């Protein structure tokens, strides 16, 4: 079986999962966090080298303040307990997104976890919070200018080196749950040749077995990268 080096997941459907049970949306997010823990472990065990999870987009700030506040509180709680799981599995943590614009406590927790896990040599877990592909690309373009690059020097390599994902291999497999067939501003540049895997399962129902099914499906795909 060919294991994809970089798997990215758009974790969608927490709200609907909770609503189906007559529960508040935040209960869906809490259940979603537990699934994150299991999937992290399953991906690491399967030999995935990079796992990117989309937890909060630059557009998600438009949600009701109560839900945003609850998500941020959940995120901080999660980051604090994550350090033990990551140490056990030798997983490195990396925040994907703009630090600026996030609550300062979240920024500090993100940095602390990156530092605490910097020497781990297993899978890298990229958690996308305050992430948007268009913002990432615009920032990379601005950094090219700030770095004094001439028009001729701006190319795929120099721009790619200024993305938040600099040095990380492109996405091989992009999974989205909850039956939506959208990329929603997630890793647009990095997913240029990614295989897409959409499932109707809502994120809280997505299990390690479902991840393994997606990995299995990936091995059946013939990737040509634009060639023949
Ligand atoms: C999509 O469900 C999910 C999110 C916007 C957040 C993803 C968050 C988690 C899995 C939990 C928080 C994660 C961490 C790491 C703390 P939705 O709310 O869009 O669901 P809906 O489409 O059914 O409304």
pLDDT in tens, 119-173: 999 999 999 999 999 999 999 999 999 999 999 999 999 999 999 999 999 999 9
Q: What percent of the chain has pLDDT over 70?
A: 100
Q: 226: pLDDT confidence band, cut at 50, 70 and 90?
A: confident
pLDDT at residue 94 greater than cutoff 90? yes
Q: Report the pLDDT value the prediction gives residue 196, as an integer from 0 to 100.
A: 98
User: Cα(13) to centroid of ligand 1, in Å?
Assistant: 7
Q: Which residues are catalytic?
A: 12, 60
Residue 135 lies in a domain: yes
144 lines ligand 1 (CB under 6 A): no
Residue 205 lies in a domain: yes
129 lines ligand 1 (CB under 6 A): no
**Nearest atom within ligand 1 for CA of residue 77:** 16
Residue 28 lies in a domain: yes
For the chain, how many residues are written?
228
Residue 190 lies in a domain: yes
Can you give the pTM of this predicted structure?
0.96
Q: How far apart are CA 25 and CA 131, in angstroms?
A: 21
Mean pLDDT to the nearest integer, 105-132: 97
74 lines ligand 1 (CB under 6 A): yes
Residue 228 lies in a domain: no
Q: How far apart are CA 151 and CA 148, in angstroms?
A: 10
Could you list the residue range(s) of the whole structural domain that residue 188 is in?
A: 6-219
204 lines ligand 1 (CB under 6 A): no
Residue 67 lies in a domain: yes
Residue 44 lies in a domain: yes
Pocket test for ligand 1, best of 19, 20, 32 (most atoms within 8 A of CB): 32
Domains in the chain, number: 1
User: Cα(93) to centroid of ligand 1, in Å?
Assistant: 19
Are 130 and 97 within 8 A, CB to CB?
Answer: yes
Q: Report the pLDDT value the prediction gives residue 222, as an integer from 0 to 100.
A: 77
User: What is the dihedral sign for C-alpha 95, 96, 98, 103?
Assistant: negative
pLDDT in tens, 32-58: 999 999 999 999 999 999 999 999 999
68 lines ligand 1 (CB under 6 A): no
Q: 225: pLDDT confidence band, cut at 50, 70 and 90?
A: confident
User: Cα(2) to centroid of ligand 1, in Å?
Assistant: 29
Residue 186 lies in a domain: yes
Beta carbons within 10 angstroms of residue 190's beta carbon: 23
User: Cα(30) to centroid of ligand 1, in Å?
Assistant: 9
pLDDT at residue 223 greater than cutoff 80? no
Instruction: Supply the CATH number for residue 76's domain.
Output: 3.40.1180.10
């Amino acid at each position: 079986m060919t294991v994809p080096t970089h798997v990215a997941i758009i974790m969608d459907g927490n709200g609907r999962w909770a609503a189906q049970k007559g529960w508040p949306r935040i209960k869906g997010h809490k259940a979603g966090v537990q699934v994150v823990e299991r999937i992290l472990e399953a991906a690491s065990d399967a030999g995935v080298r990079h796992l990117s999870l989309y937890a909060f987009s630059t557009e998600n700030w438009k949600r009701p303040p109560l839900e945003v506040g609850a998500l941020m509180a959940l995120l901080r709680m999660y980051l604090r307990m994550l350090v033990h799981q990551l140490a056990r599995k030798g997983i490195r943590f990396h925040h994907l997104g703009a630090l600026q614009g996030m609550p300062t406590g979240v920024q500090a927790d993100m940095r602390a976890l990156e530092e605490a896990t910097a020497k781990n040599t297993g899978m890298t877990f990229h958690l996308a919070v305050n992430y948007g592909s268009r913002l990432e690309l615009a920032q990379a373009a601005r950094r090219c200018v700030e770095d004094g690059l001439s028009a001729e020097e701006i190319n795929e390599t120099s721009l790619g080196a200024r993305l938040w994902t600099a040095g990380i291999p492109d996405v091989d497999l992009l999974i989205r749950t909850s039956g939506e067939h959208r990329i929603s501003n997630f890793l647009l540049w990095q997913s240029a040749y990614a295989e897409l895997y959409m499932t109707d399962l809502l994120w809280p129902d997505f299990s390690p077995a479902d991840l393994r099914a997606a990995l299995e499906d990936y091995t059946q795909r013939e990737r040509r990268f634009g060639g023949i």
